[in-house]
Homo-oligomer: A and B are copies of this chain.
Amino acid sequence: MDTQTPGLPTLTNVLTARRLGLDTQHEAMAFVRADSPVCRSEGFSAHSRVQLTNGSKSIIATLYQTSTDLVSDQEIGLSEAAWRLLGLADGCQIYISHPAPLESLKTVRGKVFGQRLDPAGTLAIITDIVAGRYSDIHLSSFVTACSALPLDLAETIALTRAMVETGSKMTWDRTPIADKHCVGGLPGNRTTPIVVAICASLGLTIPKTSSRAITSPAGTADTMEVVTDVDLDLESMRRVVDQEGGCFVWGGGMHFSPADDALVRIERALDLDSEGALVASVLSKKIAAGATHIVIDIPVGPTAKVRSQAAAISLQSLLEKVAEEFGLKVLSLVTDGTQPVGRGIGPALEARDILDVLRNDPDAPADLADRACLIAGALLELVGKAGSGAGKAMALEVLRSGAAYTKFEAICRAQGGFREPALAEHSRPILAPAPGQVTCIDSRRLARVAKLAGAPGDKTAGLDLHVRLGDRVKGGQPLYTLYTETAGELAYAIDYVMANPDIIELTKP
């Protein structure tokens, strides 16, 4: 007799697993025949939440019913997420039951009705989220409640701690461990690899993990994948850092603060982000990675994540208070977020910008070099490597000397080798229709153009931006250049550009 569903006979509740090759991201989905004996006997209906068990592994999935031969009446079809979480092979026997009630939903309801989240309740919620027990409906309710009735300092600390506790944690046998983060990416704001190279060349330990793009044309991991391998496991990452002092690897495989991925997906769908959730998201990943000293870049601008100075200052304050609770030294920089950084938008084009900066190429984008040195300098000062006010000059010095580039190449070789970025086959400049002054650059639509061109899937696709705010341009002068891997995609991106002539706004001089 099964302890979770006392009294229920188990044999009628077993179906054979069938892999449907269905990509649903994080969502565990199960498909059974409407006339399956399990549905009849258990009273499962469409959209039921069900518990699926394979040996010692158990998950909660959403059940759908089908009347076609997608599955037989002895089979249960599963999405890739469910398949992975259950560790299945074709033909495995799956035991299906009613899930135990989610006790932690009571805490969510309490929050909705105005109670404060306590540490134990918060940990229970986050544990259930990480185990995949929350549906989108539950996740959205939690995220919304944390925005409608904002988290206070104690709740933010509890949430941060719960997110750390429910994932992997890395420890280091030395200190300080440096790290950096940017809140809400501007297209092209790819300072990370440069900051890592500068800091590591000066002897700092900076084991940097980065994400792939979710909705943007490139994440730092996508960009660095152009020049080296980024999909390292924990041991390989530790080896690289022990050897070179720094790394730039993909964080997805590290399982740091896994609740964050689930929450970010919902926040994005709702376009809601609460300060408390943002602070917990940022700090939990850093704490889990073992960081002790962190510089946080907060770009402020109309199309950035943080849109006002007041919001940036409030965020700074909460970041610092929560960090203090965990013994972290955090310095946050409020920076200009009114336009993209550098020239390239798209993995290979951004990688080229990074290399140009590191190689001191005369055409290197000065704004990218400047931002990278600002952040690296702040980090050098924070860990006490540079005196107050002397960090940026120290960063600039190792950049100019070529020491940062040498370190960059060494890290790449330690991660699996260094490759020069390739160039896209097709390109087309987009010209100014008339003379004017650049008064606005819509970062969001520019990112969309780069995605339509094929980024980040097509590594060399994207665009190069040739103008910056305030520039005066002649009629017919290129504003930006599209790059694509196929002629079809080029036509496609151009179509969008033609329909959106105001992505870069020109005002008559």
Whether A112 pairs with B147 at a CB distance below 8 angstroms is yes
A–B Cβ pairs within 8 angstroms, 28 of them: A7-B498, A8-B496, A9-B495, A12-B492, A19-B68, A20-B66, A21-B66, A21-B67, A21-B68, A22-B65, A22-B66, A22-B68, A23-B64, A24-B64, A41-B452, A41-B492, A64-B79, A105-B271, A108-B270, A112-B147, A136-B137, A136-B140, A137-B140, A138-B270, A140-B141, A141-B143, A141-B272, A148-B149
Q: How many copies of the polypeptide does the oligomer hold?
A: 2
The 6 closest A-B pairs by CB, nearest first: A7-B499, A140-B140, A21-B67, A21-B68, A6-B499, A148-B148
Q: Which A residues between 1 and 56 are near B, CB-CB below 8 angstroms?
A: 6-9, 12, 19-25, 27, 31, 34, 40-41, 43, 46-47
CB distance from A464 to the nearest CB of B (A): 20
Would you call A135 an interface residue if the criterion is a C-beta within 8 Å of the partner chain's C-beta atoms? yes
CB distance from A496 to the nearest CB of B (A): 5
Would you call A144 an interface residue if the criterion is a C-beta within 8 Å of the partner chain's C-beta atoms? yes
Would you call A87 an interface residue if the criterion is a C-beta within 8 Å of the partner chain's C-beta atoms? no
Would you call A488 an interface residue if the criterion is a C-beta within 8 Å of the partner chain's C-beta atoms? yes
Whether A137 pairs with B66 at a CB distance below 8 angstroms is no
Which chain B residue shows the least CB distance to A147? Answer: B112
Q: Which A residues between 469 and 509 are near B, CB-CB below 8 angstroms?
A: 488-489, 491-492, 495-500
Whether A70 pairs with B70 at a CB distance below 8 angstroms is yes
Whether A270 pairs with B23 at a CB distance below 8 angstroms is no
Which residues of chain B have C-beta atoms less than 8 A from A84's C-beta?
A: none
Which residues of chain B have C-beta atoms less than 8 A from A491's C-beta?
A: 9
Whether B43 pairs with A451 at a CB distance below 8 angstroms is yes
CB distance from A82 to the nearest CB of B (A): 13
Which residues of chain B have C-beta atoms less than 8 A from A272's C-beta?
A: 109, 112, 141
Whether A31 pairs with B27 at a CB distance below 8 angstroms is no
Given A31-B22, A41-B492, A145-B144, decide whether A137 and B270 contact each other with a Cβ distance below 8 A. Answer: yes
Which chain B residue shows the least CB distance to A77? Answer: B70
Which chain B residue shows the least CB distance to A49? Answer: B269
Given A144-B144, A148-B148, decide whether A135 and B70 contact each other with a Cβ distance below 8 A. Answer: no
Would you call A139 an interface residue if the criterion is a C-beta within 8 Å of the partner chain's C-beta atoms? yes
Would you call A226 an interface residue if the criterion is a C-beta within 8 Å of the partner chain's C-beta atoms? no
Given A65-B22, A66-B23, decide whether A9 and B492 contact each other with a Cβ distance below 8 A. Answer: yes
Whether A27 pairs with B7 at a CB distance below 8 angstroms is no
Query: How many Å lie between the Cα of A144 and that of B43 in the bound state?
Result: 28
A67 touches which of B23, B43, B139, B495 (Cβ 8 Å): B23
Given A8-B496, A136-B135, decide whether A47 and B27 contact each other with a Cβ distance below 8 A. Answer: yes
Q: Which A residues between 95 and 122 are near B, CB-CB below 8 angstroms?
A: 105, 108-109, 111-114
Whether A23 pairs with B65 at a CB distance below 8 angstroms is yes
CB distance from A354 to the nearest CB of B (A): 24
Whether A270 pairs with B141 at a CB distance below 8 angstroms is yes
Would you call A266 an interface residue if the criterion is a C-beta within 8 Å of the partner chain's C-beta atoms? yes
Of A70, A139, A498, the most chain B CB neighbours within 10 A belong to A70
CB distance from A276 to the nearest CB of B (A): 14
Query: How many Å lie between the Cα of A453 and that of B272 in the bound state?
Result: 45
Which chain B residue shows the least CB distance to A67? Answer: B21
Which residues of chain B have C-beta atoms less than 8 A from A114's C-beta?
A: 148
Given A7-B498, A271-B105, decide whether A34 and B43 contact each other with a Cβ distance below 8 A. Answer: no
Whether B112 pairs with A148 at a CB distance below 8 angstroms is yes
Query: Assuming A7-B496, A23-B66, A114-B148, what are 7 further A-B pairs, CB within 8 angstroms?
Result: A6-B500, A27-B47, A70-B70, A109-B270, A113-B148, A137-B139, A144-B145
Query: How many Å lie between the Cα of A64 and that of B62 in the bound state?
Result: 14
CB distance from A6 to the nearest CB of B (A): 4
Of A8, A111, A269, the most chain B CB neighbours within 10 A belong to A269
